[in-house]
Protein backbone atom coordinates (compact mmCIF):
# COMPACT_ATOMS: atom_id res chain seq x y z
CA UNK A 1 0.00 0.00 0.00
CA UNK A 2 1.29 3.47 -0.89
CA UNK A 3 2.34 5.82 1.89
CA UNK A 4 -0.38 7.88 3.53
CA UNK A 5 1.88 10.93 3.18
CA UNK A 6 1.16 10.99 -0.54
CA UNK A 7 -1.63 13.12 -1.94
CA UNK A 8 -4.37 11.36 -3.89
CA UNK A 9 -5.84 11.63 -7.38
CA UNK A 10 -8.82 9.60 -8.64
CA UNK A 11 -9.36 8.97 -12.35
CA UNK A 12 -12.50 7.13 -13.41
CA UNK A 13 -12.59 4.88 -16.44
CA UNK A 14 -8.80 4.86 -16.66
CA UNK A 15 -8.06 1.30 -17.72
CA UNK A 16 -7.78 2.27 -21.39
CA UNK A 17 -7.92 5.12 -23.90
CA UNK A 18 -7.77 8.73 -22.79
CA UNK A 19 -8.23 7.83 -19.12
CA UNK A 20 -5.22 5.53 -19.19
CA UNK A 21 -3.00 8.25 -20.66
CA UNK A 22 -4.29 10.77 -18.12
CA UNK A 23 -3.21 8.38 -15.37
CA UNK A 24 0.16 7.71 -16.98
CA UNK A 25 0.74 11.42 -17.58
CA UNK A 26 -0.08 12.34 -13.98
CA UNK A 27 2.18 9.56 -12.71
CA UNK A 28 5.04 11.33 -14.48
CA UNK A 29 4.32 14.94 -13.45
CA UNK A 30 3.01 14.38 -9.92
CA UNK A 31 5.62 12.29 -8.09
CA UNK A 32 4.06 13.10 -4.70
CA UNK A 33 0.69 11.62 -5.69
CA UNK A 34 -0.84 8.20 -5.50
CA UNK A 35 -3.24 7.65 -8.39
CA UNK A 36 -6.36 5.53 -8.07
CA UNK A 37 -7.57 4.38 -11.46
CA UNK A 38 -11.02 2.87 -11.74
CA UNK A 39 -12.70 0.52 -14.17
CA UNK A 40 -15.94 -1.40 -14.02
CA UNK A 41 -13.72 -4.49 -13.87
CA UNK A 42 -11.14 -4.69 -11.06
CA UNK A 43 -8.79 -6.94 -13.03
CA UNK A 44 -8.63 -4.45 -15.91
CA UNK A 45 -7.97 -1.59 -13.49
CA UNK A 46 -5.15 -3.51 -11.85
CA UNK A 47 -3.68 -4.54 -15.21
CA UNK A 48 -3.66 -0.90 -16.33
CA UNK A 49 -1.97 0.12 -13.07
CA UNK A 50 0.68 -2.56 -13.57
CA UNK A 51 1.30 -1.36 -17.13
CA UNK A 52 1.81 2.23 -15.98
CA UNK A 53 4.28 1.06 -13.33
CA UNK A 54 6.12 -1.10 -15.87
CA UNK A 55 6.50 1.95 -18.14
CA UNK A 56 7.35 4.25 -15.23
CA UNK A 57 9.22 2.34 -12.48
CA UNK A 58 9.28 5.46 -10.26
CA UNK A 59 5.52 5.09 -9.94
CA UNK A 60 5.85 1.78 -8.09
CA UNK A 61 3.38 1.54 -5.19
CA UNK A 62 1.70 4.80 -6.31
CA UNK A 63 -0.76 3.47 -8.90
CA UNK A 64 -3.76 1.56 -7.57
CA UNK A 65 -6.63 -0.12 -9.41
CA UNK A 66 -10.17 -0.16 -8.04
CA UNK A 67 -13.50 -1.45 -9.39
CA UNK A 68 -16.11 1.28 -9.77
CA UNK A 69 -19.01 1.62 -12.18
CA UNK A 70 -20.20 5.22 -11.95
CA UNK A 71 -23.70 4.16 -13.00
CA UNK A 72 -23.85 1.81 -9.98
CA UNK A 73 -24.30 3.89 -6.83
CA UNK A 74 -23.19 1.01 -4.59
CA UNK A 75 -19.74 0.85 -6.19
CA UNK A 76 -19.41 4.63 -5.95
CA UNK A 77 -20.00 4.49 -2.19
CA UNK A 78 -17.54 1.59 -1.94
CA UNK A 79 -14.89 3.75 -3.61
CA UNK A 80 -15.67 6.63 -1.26
CA UNK A 81 -15.42 4.39 1.79
CA UNK A 82 -12.14 2.88 0.56
CA UNK A 83 -10.59 6.31 0.09
CA UNK A 84 -11.90 7.63 3.40
CA UNK A 85 -10.63 4.61 5.35
CA UNK A 86 -7.22 4.34 3.71
CA UNK A 87 -6.26 7.89 2.73
CA UNK A 88 -8.77 10.25 4.30
CA UNK A 89 -9.04 12.70 1.42
CA UNK A 90 -8.29 13.42 -2.21
CA UNK A 91 -6.85 16.39 -4.09
CA UNK A 92 -7.84 15.62 -7.69
CA UNK A 93 -10.93 14.02 -9.20
CA UNK A 94 -10.92 13.37 -12.94
CA UNK A 95 -14.31 12.23 -14.23
CA UNK A 96 -13.24 10.47 -17.39
CA UNK A 97 -15.62 7.47 -17.35
CA UNK A 98 -18.35 7.63 -19.95
CA UNK A 99 -20.09 5.69 -22.69
CA UNK A 100 -21.20 6.35 -26.25
CA UNK A 101 -23.90 4.94 -28.49
CA UNK A 102 -24.28 5.86 -32.14
CA UNK A 103 -27.91 4.75 -32.18
CA UNK A 104 -30.20 7.64 -33.10
CA UNK A 105 -32.26 8.11 -29.96
CA UNK A 106 -32.78 4.44 -29.27
CA UNK A 107 -34.64 4.52 -25.95
CA UNK A 108 -32.56 1.82 -24.27
CA UNK A 109 -29.22 3.25 -25.40
CA UNK A 110 -30.27 6.80 -24.54
CA UNK A 111 -31.11 5.78 -20.97
CA UNK A 112 -27.76 3.96 -20.69
CA UNK A 113 -25.75 6.92 -22.01
CA UNK A 114 -27.50 9.63 -19.99
CA UNK A 115 -27.63 7.55 -16.79
CA UNK A 116 -23.90 6.89 -17.02
CA UNK A 117 -22.53 10.13 -18.40
CA UNK A 118 -24.78 12.56 -16.54
CA UNK A 119 -26.25 10.95 -13.44
CA UNK A 120 -23.18 8.78 -12.83
CA UNK A 121 -20.77 11.69 -13.12
CA UNK A 122 -22.90 13.89 -10.88
CA UNK A 123 -23.31 11.15 -8.26
CA UNK A 124 -19.62 10.28 -7.94
CA UNK A 125 -18.66 13.94 -7.85
CA UNK A 126 -21.16 14.80 -5.13
CA UNK A 127 -20.07 11.76 -3.10
CA UNK A 128 -16.39 12.69 -3.29
CA UNK A 129 -16.66 16.48 -2.85
CA UNK A 130 -16.67 16.10 0.97
CA UNK A 131 -13.33 14.28 0.67
CA UNK A 132 -11.76 16.94 -1.54
CA UNK A 133 -9.08 18.95 0.22
CA UNK A 134 -9.14 22.76 0.02
CA UNK A 135 -7.70 23.97 -3.31
CA UNK A 136 -8.44 20.58 -4.85
CA UNK A 137 -9.43 20.01 -8.48
CA UNK A 138 -12.45 18.55 -10.27
CA UNK A 139 -11.97 17.90 -13.98
CA UNK A 140 -14.90 16.60 -15.99
CA UNK A 141 -14.57 15.20 -19.50
CA UNK A 142 -17.08 17.23 -21.45
CA UNK A 143 -17.05 17.62 -25.20
CA UNK A 144 -17.59 20.07 -28.01
CA UNK A 145 -20.32 17.60 -29.00
CA UNK A 146 -22.21 19.13 -26.09
CA UNK A 147 -22.45 22.57 -27.66
CA UNK A 148 -25.60 24.33 -26.55
CA UNK A 149 -26.14 26.04 -29.91
CA UNK A 150 -27.53 22.89 -31.50
CA UNK A 151 -30.18 22.71 -28.77
CA UNK A 152 -31.02 26.41 -29.04
CA UNK A 153 -31.69 26.02 -32.75
CA UNK A 154 -34.31 23.40 -31.96
CA UNK A 155 -36.05 24.91 -28.94
CA UNK A 156 -34.83 28.11 -27.29
CA UNK A 157 -37.11 27.63 -24.29
CA UNK A 158 -35.67 24.19 -23.53
CA UNK A 159 -32.15 25.51 -24.03
CA UNK A 160 -32.81 28.38 -21.60
CA UNK A 161 -33.94 25.88 -18.97
CA UNK A 162 -30.78 23.85 -19.48
CA UNK A 163 -28.45 26.85 -19.32
CA UNK A 164 -29.96 28.45 -16.22
CA UNK A 165 -27.04 29.26 -13.93
CA UNK A 166 -29.30 28.71 -10.90
CA UNK A 167 -29.90 25.05 -11.74
CA UNK A 168 -29.10 22.88 -8.73
CA UNK A 169 -27.85 19.31 -8.80
CA UNK A 170 -31.42 18.13 -8.39
CA UNK A 171 -32.56 20.40 -11.23
CA UNK A 172 -29.94 18.91 -13.56
CA UNK A 173 -30.86 15.37 -12.56
CA UNK A 174 -34.51 16.20 -13.22
CA UNK A 175 -33.67 17.53 -16.70
CA UNK A 176 -31.66 14.39 -17.46
CA UNK A 177 -34.57 12.18 -16.43
CA UNK A 178 -36.99 14.35 -18.43
CA UNK A 179 -34.85 13.83 -21.52
CA UNK A 180 -34.83 10.06 -20.99
CA UNK A 181 -38.60 10.05 -20.51
CA UNK A 182 -39.24 12.14 -23.63
CA UNK A 183 -37.11 9.84 -25.76
CA UNK A 184 -38.89 6.76 -24.43
CA UNK A 185 -42.29 8.32 -25.14
CA UNK A 186 -41.31 9.76 -28.53
CA UNK A 187 -41.88 13.35 -27.39
CA UNK A 188 -38.48 14.73 -28.25
CA UNK A 189 -39.21 16.18 -31.72
CA UNK A 190 -39.10 19.96 -31.65
CA UNK A 191 -37.82 19.95 -28.08
CA UNK A 192 -34.43 18.27 -28.27
CA UNK A 193 -32.09 17.86 -31.23
CA UNK A 194 -32.26 14.42 -32.77
CA UNK A 195 -29.28 12.68 -34.37
CA UNK A 196 -26.78 11.39 -31.73
CA UNK A 197 -28.72 13.45 -29.25
CA UNK A 198 -28.28 11.12 -26.28
CA UNK A 199 -24.52 11.50 -26.26
CA UNK A 200 -24.57 15.18 -27.24
CA UNK A 201 -27.13 15.93 -24.53
CA UNK A 202 -25.03 14.09 -21.94
CA UNK A 203 -21.95 16.16 -22.74
CA UNK A 204 -23.94 19.39 -22.77
CA UNK A 205 -25.06 18.51 -19.25
CA UNK A 206 -21.48 17.87 -18.14
CA UNK A 207 -20.42 21.26 -19.50
CA UNK A 208 -23.31 22.90 -17.62
CA UNK A 209 -22.74 20.95 -14.41
CA UNK A 210 -19.07 21.94 -14.40
CA UNK A 211 -19.91 25.62 -14.83
CA UNK A 212 -22.62 25.56 -12.16
CA UNK A 213 -20.34 23.71 -9.74
CA UNK A 214 -17.90 26.61 -9.86
CA UNK A 215 -20.68 28.96 -8.71
CA UNK A 216 -21.54 26.94 -5.60
CA UNK A 217 -20.64 28.37 -2.20
CA UNK A 218 -19.23 25.08 -0.86
CA UNK A 219 -16.85 24.96 -3.84
CA UNK A 220 -15.87 28.62 -3.41
CA UNK A 221 -15.32 28.21 0.33
CA UNK A 222 -12.82 25.39 -0.27
CA UNK A 223 -11.32 27.16 -3.31
CA UNK A 224 -11.81 24.06 -5.43
CA UNK A 225 -10.97 24.33 -9.11
CA UNK A 226 -13.54 23.02 -11.60
CA UNK A 227 -13.11 22.49 -15.33
CA UNK A 228 -14.85 20.80 -18.23
CA UNK A 229 -12.44 19.53 -20.86
CA UNK A 230 -12.87 18.65 -24.51
CA UNK A 231 -10.14 16.12 -25.37
CA UNK A 232 -10.96 16.42 -29.06
CA UNK A 233 -11.82 13.66 -31.48
CA UNK A 234 -9.43 10.85 -30.53
CA UNK A 235 -8.50 7.43 -31.83
CA UNK A 236 -10.04 5.29 -29.10
CA UNK A 237 -12.61 2.53 -28.95
CA UNK A 238 -15.24 5.27 -28.65
CA UNK A 239 -13.76 7.72 -31.16
CA UNK A 240 -12.86 5.24 -33.89
CA UNK A 241 -9.83 4.93 -36.15
CA UNK A 242 -10.55 8.00 -38.31
CA UNK A 243 -10.01 10.52 -35.51
CA UNK A 244 -7.26 13.09 -35.88
CA UNK A 245 -5.81 12.85 -32.37
CA UNK A 246 -4.25 9.95 -30.51
CA UNK A 247 -5.58 9.04 -27.06
CA UNK A 248 -2.37 10.37 -25.53
CA UNK A 249 -2.87 13.72 -27.29
CA UNK A 250 -6.45 13.76 -26.03
CA UNK A 251 -5.20 13.38 -22.46
CA UNK A 252 -2.86 16.37 -22.70
CA UNK A 253 -5.22 19.15 -21.56
CA UNK A 254 -6.36 17.14 -18.55
CA UNK A 255 -2.76 16.41 -17.56
CA UNK A 256 -2.02 20.11 -17.93
CA UNK A 257 -4.92 21.20 -15.72
CA UNK A 258 -4.54 18.45 -13.13
CA UNK A 259 -0.78 18.13 -13.01
CA UNK A 260 0.82 21.34 -14.20
CA UNK A 261 -1.58 24.15 -13.26
CA UNK A 262 -0.96 25.38 -9.68
CA UNK A 263 -3.33 24.32 -6.91
CA UNK A 264 -5.12 27.64 -6.68
CA UNK A 265 -8.15 29.08 -8.41
CA UNK A 266 -7.22 30.72 -11.69
CA UNK A 267 -10.14 32.77 -13.02
CA UNK A 268 -8.88 32.25 -16.55
CA UNK A 269 -9.88 28.59 -16.26
CA UNK A 270 -12.29 28.36 -13.32
CA UNK A 271 -15.62 26.87 -14.38
CA UNK A 272 -14.59 27.12 -18.01
CA UNK A 273 -14.78 24.75 -20.95
CA UNK A 274 -11.16 24.04 -21.92
CA UNK A 275 -9.83 22.72 -25.21
CA UNK A 276 -6.15 22.44 -26.23
CA UNK A 277 -5.10 23.97 -22.88
CA UNK A 278 -7.13 27.15 -23.43
CA UNK A 279 -10.63 28.28 -22.44
CA UNK A 280 -12.93 27.81 -25.42
CA UNK A 281 -16.43 28.70 -26.54
CA UNK A 282 -18.91 25.84 -26.54
CA UNK A 283 -21.87 27.41 -28.30
CA UNK A 284 -21.15 25.49 -31.50
CA UNK A 285 -18.90 22.52 -32.12
CA UNK A 286 -15.83 23.02 -34.33
CA UNK A 287 -16.10 19.41 -35.52
CA UNK A 288 -18.30 18.66 -38.56
CA UNK A 289 -19.13 15.16 -37.28
CA UNK A 290 -20.81 16.71 -34.23
CA UNK A 291 -23.46 18.51 -36.27
CA UNK A 292 -26.86 16.84 -35.82
CA UNK A 293 -29.85 16.57 -38.10
CA UNK A 294 -32.89 18.54 -36.95
CA UNK A 295 -36.59 17.88 -37.28
SS3 letters across 125-187:
HHHHHHHEEEEEEEEEECCHHHCCHHHHCCCHHHHHHHHCCCCCHHHHHHHHHHHHHHHHHCC
Tell me the three state secondary structure of residue 273. Answer: strand
Residue 199 catalytic? yes
pLDDT value at residue 186: 86
Judge whether residue 259 has pLDDT over 70: yes
Angle (CA) 191 193 197, round 5°: 125
Judge whether residue 19 has pLDDT over 50: yes
Q: Taking the complete model, does pTM exceed 0.75, yes or no?
A: yes
pLDDT, one tens digit per residue, over 98-146 is: 998 867 678 899 999 999 999 999 999 999 999 999 999 999 999 988 8
Average pLDDT, the chain: 90
Confidence class of residue 196 from pLDDT cuts 50, 70 and 90?
Answer: low
> Which one is the CATH code of 7-104+119-149+204-282: 3.30.110.70, 2.60.40.180, 3.40.50.720, 1.20.200.10?
3.40.50.720
Judge whether residue 195 has pLDDT over 60: no
pLDDT, one tens digit per residue, over 69-81 is: 999 999 999 999 9
Confidence class of residue 1 from pLDDT cuts 50, 70 and 90?
Answer: very low
pLDDT value at residue 2: 46
From 20, 21, 199, 209, the catalytic residue: 199
Confidence class of residue 244 from pLDDT cuts 50, 70 and 90?
Answer: confident
User: Distance of CA 205 to CAs 8, 42, 52, 119, 270, Å?
Assistant: 27, 28, 32, 10, 17
Confidence class of residue 8 from pLDDT cuts 50, 70 and 90?
Answer: very high
- The distance from CA 124 to its chain's CA centroid, rounded to whole angstroms, is 10
Average pLDDT for 186-196:
75
Which of 57-61, 148-152, 262-266 shows the lowest mean pLDDT across its residues?
148-152
Average pLDDT for 216-230:
97
pLDDT value at residue 291: 61
pLDDT value at residue 193: 72
Amino acid sequence: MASKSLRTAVITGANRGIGYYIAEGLAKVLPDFRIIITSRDKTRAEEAAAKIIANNPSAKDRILGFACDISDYATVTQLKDYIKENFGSIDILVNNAGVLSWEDLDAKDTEWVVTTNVLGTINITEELIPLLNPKGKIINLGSSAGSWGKFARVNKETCARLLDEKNTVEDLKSLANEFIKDVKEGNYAGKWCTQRSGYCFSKLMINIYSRNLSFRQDIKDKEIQVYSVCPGWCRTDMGGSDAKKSAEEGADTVVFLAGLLPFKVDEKYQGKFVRDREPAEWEFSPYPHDEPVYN
